[in-house]
């Protein structure tokens, strides 16, 4: 059985389709920076970091800080993986516990 060069055969007998490279898919999937509650940093300091680093207005920074305090975590930013990795690194430099995960 021969197949034409334009339609490569697949093991199931269908026609293969071109898939997007994994790196292209990764670039379109949003990521989120998560800040976690910790027993070390004061709530006022966490608020200060959110205002200083993210330039959040104080009410938003306080709301996020309270979410961290009461729920144990808060999503503070969403964007590309590279952007979120930069945020996590910066938050670590401030002494906060932070991770990144795929956005829901």
What confidence tens digit (pLDDT) does each residue in 60-71 have? 999 999 999 999
Assigned token pair, 68: 């961290």
Diameter of the chain by CA atoms? 73
- State the Cα–Cα distance between residues 88 and 77, nearest whole angstrom: 10
- State the Cα–Cα distance between residues 98 and 96, nearest whole angstrom: 6
State pLDDT tens for residues 52-96. Answer: 999 999 999 999 999 999 999 999 999 999 999 999 999 999 999
The architecture (CATH level 2) of 31-102 comes to 2-Layer Sandwich (3.30)
Q: For residue 83, give the 3-state DSSP assignment.
A: helix
Closest CA relative to residue 99, chosen from 69, 77, 67: 77
- Contact status, residue 76 vs residue 34, Cβ threshold 8 Å: yes
pTM of the model: 0.74
Residue spans of the domains in the chain: they are 31-102
């Amino acid at each position: 059985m021969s197949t034409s060069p334009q339609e490569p055969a697949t093991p199931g007998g269908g026609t293969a389709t071109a898939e997007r490279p994994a790196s292209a898919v990764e670039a379109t999937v949003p990521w989120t920076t998560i800040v976690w509650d910790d027993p070390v940093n004061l709530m006022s300091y966490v608020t200060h970091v959110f205002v200083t680093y993210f330039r959040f207005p104080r009410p938003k920074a306080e709301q996020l800080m309270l979410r961290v305090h009461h729920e144990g975590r808060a999503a503070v930013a969403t964007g590309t993986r590279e952007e979120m990795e930069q945020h996590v690194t910066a938050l670590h430099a401030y002494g906060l516990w932070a991770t990144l995960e795929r956005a829901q």
